[in-house]
Structure 1
Amino acid sequence: MSTEAEIREILGKVKVAAAGTILAELNLLREVTVQPDKIAVKVASAGLSEDSRQILRQEIELALKPVLKKQTLEIEYITVPLKDLNRVKKVVAVMSGKGGVGKSLITGLCAVALNRQGYRVGILDADITGSSIPKMFGANQKIIGNEEAILPVQSRGGISLVSTSLLLTNQDDAVIWRGPLISKMINQFWDDVLWGELDYMVVDLPPGTSDAALTVLQALPISGILVVFTPQGLVEMVARKAVSMAKKMEKPIIGLVENMAYLKVPELDKKIEVFGAGHGEELAKSIGVPFIGQMPLDPALAALCDNGDIEKYQHPLLDELEKAISRS
Structure 2
Amino acid sequence: MFSKLFSSKSDTKTVPQETQEAISQFIESYRCDVFKDGLFSLNASIEISQHKDDIVIAITLPFPCALALSVLAEQLSKLCEQTVKFAVSYDILSVREHEIPGIKNIIAVASGKGGVGKSTTSVNLAYALQAEGAKVGLLDADIYGPSIPTLLGLKDQKPTSADGKLLTPLDKDGITAMSIGFLVDDAEATVWRGPMASRAFGQLLNETSWPALDYLIIDMPPGTGDIQLTLAQSVPVAASVVVTTPQDIALIDAVKGIAMFEQVNVPVLGIVENMSYHLCENCGHQSHLFGQGGGENIASEFHTKLLGQLPLNIDIRVNADNGKSLIAANSHSDISVSYRKIAQNVAAELYSQLDMRSKQNAKVIVE
Q: TM-score, normalised by structure 2?
A: 0.63
Shift of 1:235: 1.2
CA RMSD of aligned residues (A): 1.9
The 1:309–1:221 alpha-carbon spacing in structure 2 relative to 1, beyond 3 Å, is: same
Question: Does the residue aligned with 2:238 lie in a helix, a strand or coil?
Answer: strand
Report the residue type matching 1:302 in the other structure: R
Structure 2: which amino acid aligns with 1:199? Answer: D
**SS of equivalent residue, structure 1 residue 222:** coil
Note if 1:152 corresponds to 2:169.
yes
Q: Which secondary structure state, in structure 2, belongs to the residue aligned with residue 320 of structure 1?
A: helix
- CA contact under 8 A between 1:85 and 1:196: conserved in structure 2? no
**Counterpart of 1:153 in structure 2: which amino acid?**
L
**What percentage of aligned pairs have identical amino acids?**
34
Match of 2:37 in 1: none
Q: Are the counterparts in 1 of residues 307 and 346 from structure 2 also a CA contact under 8 Å?
A: no
Q: Distance in 1 between matches of 2:187 and 2:204?
A: 20
- The answer to whether the 8 Å contact 2:107/2:215 transfers is yes
In structure 2, relative to structure 1, the CA distance for the partners of 1:108 and 1:288 (3 Å cut) is same
Partners of 1:84 and 1:272 lie apart in 2 by: 47
Q: Distance between the aligned counterparts of 2:100 and 2:284, measured in 1?
A: 52
Preserved contact between residue 243 and residue 253 of structure 1 (Cα < 8 Å): yes
Q: Which residue of 1 aligns with 2:132?
A: 117
Matched, 1:318 2:339: yes
- State how far apart, in whole Å, the 2-side matches of 1:174 and 1:220 are: 20
What secondary structure is seen at the aligned counterpart in 1 of 2:133? coil
SS in 1 for 2:105: strand
2:284 is equivalent to residue 269 of structure 1 = yes
Matching residue of 1:66? none
The CA deviation at 1:171 is 5.7
**Which structure 1 residue ranges, 5 or more long, are not aligned?**
1-82
Residues 55-204 of structure 1 correspond to what in structure 2 (within 5 A)?
86-140=101-155, 141-145=157-161, 146-155=163-172, 157-168=173-184, 175-204=190-219
Within a 5 Å distance, the mapping from 1:171-250 to structure 2 comes to 175-250=190-265
Letter in 1 for 2:190: V
SS at match of 1:161: strand
1:68-101 CA-to-partner distances (Å, cap 9, x unmatched) read xxxxxxxxxxxxxxx9882210000000111111
Q: Secondary structure at the match of 1:260?
A: coil
Q: Is the 8 A contact 2:144 2:186 kept in 1?
A: no
Determine the C-alpha separation between the residues in 2 that align with 1:174 and 1:84.
Answer: 27
Distance 1:100 1:84, change over 3 A: closer
Using the TM superposition, give the Cα deviation of residue 173 of structure 1 relative to its aligned residue in structure 2, in angstroms. Answer: 6.4
Tell me if structure 2 keeps the 8 A contact 1:121–1:199: yes
1 CA distance for matches of 2:146 and 2:262?
26
Question: Residues 138 and 178 of structure 2 are in contact (CA less than 8 Å); yes or no, is this contact kept in structure 1?
Answer: yes
1:283 pairs, out of 286, 298, 304, with 298
Residues 264, 270 of structure 1: 8 Å contact kept: yes
Q: How many residues align?
A: 244
**1:270-301 CA-partner distances (Å, limit 9, x unpaired):** 22222122322122101111111111111011
The one-letter code matched in structure 2 to 1:112 is Y
SS at match of 1:225: strand
**1:301 corresponding residue in structure 2:** 316
| Distance verdict in 2 for CA 1:85–1:190, change over 3 Å | closer
Measure the CA separation in 2 of the matches of 1:322 and 1:104.
15
Q: Secondary structure at the match of 2:149?
A: helix
3-state SS of paired residue (1:111): helix
TM-score by length of 1: 0.70
- What amino acid is aligned across from residue 239 of structure 1 in structure 2? A
Letter matched to residue 182 of structure 2: L
8 A Cα contact 2:271 2:307, kept in partner: yes
1:163 alignment partner AA: S
Write the distance in 2 (CA, Å) between the matches of 1:85 and 1:125: 17
Shift in alpha-carbon separation, 1:312–1:175, aligned structure 2, 3 A: farther
Q: Pick the structure with more strand per residue.
A: 1
Distance 1:203 1:143 in 2: 18
